[in-house]
A and B are shown apart, each in its own frame.
Chain A
């Protein structure tokens, strides 16, 4: 009992530790004073000032574009990898494959960034592509590391799935491809959405990889923020940071809410279907008795 209350206390303190700084940042972004540490009343002027900053707006658009492409590609790639890891149990190089999928999760970003840049430079020398680094190279870098996150999320879901549903479909003559698209995909849809959103957020946030593989004229939002932050705390940056913070929090909440709703719907549908089959199997037995 004593330990239980200790862990609860730590939990509350830990959550305060995590959320208090972000809350302070958001509150101070509405500060009217130019001094970041003195409170001068509420104001929206830093937010309005952002709209005039065309360079910043350009980088926002660029980051959003990359994040969209990354989310799509990472979900496809990550789901394939997760499917191989959970369903194809035996093939040559499986250990290597598993390592390749999970290693990007922990690999320091400076190493991944540097190595990818060297690859792109070598490729440009050898096959003439990519001639200049920019959106595509950042997209490749982000997809590679986001796919690992998607693979973890999706494989967790694939593992808890009831294999008998897929097996039943195959017994009834469905081809593997059909089973995958009609049975497996709908059942793992919530985790696909979660993985996609996660990739979107991760891509939007990444500074180190983008700094290495971007070229001139393809500055992303985090790079823009970083070069400003290096010079110290500024009210405009407070506003940008708060906007990103609020956008990502809202997105996270929405993913969580919808995936929970979908999950509840799915459970209810299964329950209903089972009830229905149960009552259907009852009927024929009763009909001959009454007739």
Chain B
């Protein structure tokens, strides 16, 4: 029995290895490995079969053949649609990140300045929407922004406009939707950072004759850098690939890459082109993602 026990101990990995191994293996298998598959499929050709792509390697006449089809990528470069979709996504993501920062920073600052009890309540209020479906929150705007919706009715009632203005199915609606959906993701990391600031620094600066604006610009903002980076990345990266908001609020002129990828995949059933789109999107986003991971790691070290 004891030899069996000893054998068992030798065969079973140690606790430490298990604790690291389980999450590592899961994430490797279901998060990292799939990206290599996307890369592989992006080099194959679309075929009418199940699954709808060709194999990129074959064994014919005792020769291992690897066929890399670069056609999908040259298609992306040649077709105006894809390029403008990438540019459109980047523009919408950049501008809405900026808007989120401009709205979110004062909000986070305001929360960090209230009493501790109040801070908890306000944080809950900010956090609550992030748990509700983005789909539903976007849907709520559809009713408000439509031609005979509440916003137009309100504006006409005020006498500001005489006939309904078209907002739904335009880029304006997409901006409203994106800022609305992603604002909490900007406020939360900013708050987490701002609340740790040492107030005595500001007091010392004021005692030495620094103005409020100077204080804010030279002390608060530089100290909040990690929070700003984290917040901006939490907004920017997912918005580039956003699908639901442009699909529901945007119009035909709203070209965003997430939407194009969805159409290629589900409507055209062109898996290789969809994969190539994803690979290029990832290549564009890899720098922001690394920045985000680094700011997260820094935040962890700062608190440890």
Contact = CB atoms under 8 A, between A and B. Distances in A.
* A and B associate: yes
Contacts of A164: none
A286 interface: no
A14 interface: yes
Interface residues of B, dominant DSSP: helix
B27 A241 contact: no
A58 B129 CA distance: 26
Contact of A18 (B183, B241, B247): B183
A106 B38 contact: no
Chain A CB within 10 A, most for which of B29, B113, B120, B143: B143
Interface string B120-132: 1010111111011
A11 to B, nearest CB: 4
Contacts of A97: 20, 23-24, 27
A283 B216 CA distance: 54
B99 to A, nearest CB: 11
Interface in A91-120: 91, 93, 95, 97-112, 114-116, 118-119
Contacts of A112: 31, 34
B132 A205 contact: yes
A252 B41 CA distance: 41
Interface residues on B, range: 35 or more
A24 B144 contact: yes
B180 A17 contact: yes
Contact of B129 (A11, A18, A77): A18
Contacts of A198: 131
Which 8 A-B residue pairings sit nearest by Cβ, starting from the closest? A108-B241, A115-B34, A205-B133, A11-B110, A7-B110, A10-B106, A25-B140, A81-B23
Given A114-B278, A160-B303, A237-B139, 18 more contacts: A7-B110, A18-B184, A24-B140, A24-B144, A80-B22, A86-B304, A95-B297, A100-B27, A103-B31, A106-B234, A106-B237, A108-B237, A119-B30, A222-B133, A222-B135, A248-B133, A251-B131, A252-B124
9 contacts: A15-B122, A22-B137, A98-B297, A102-B292, A106-B292, A115-B35, A147-B23, A197-B131, A244-B133
Interface of A: 2-4, 6-8, 10-11, 14-15, 17-19, 21-22, 24-25, 28, 36-37, 77, 80-81, 83-86, 88, 91, 93, 95, 97-112, 114-116, 118-119, 121-122, 125, 140-141, 143-144, 147, 155-156, 159-160, 176-177, 197-198, 201-202, 204-205, 207-208, 211-212, 222, 225-226, 229-230, 232-233, 237-238, 241, 244-245, 248-249, 251-253, 256, 260
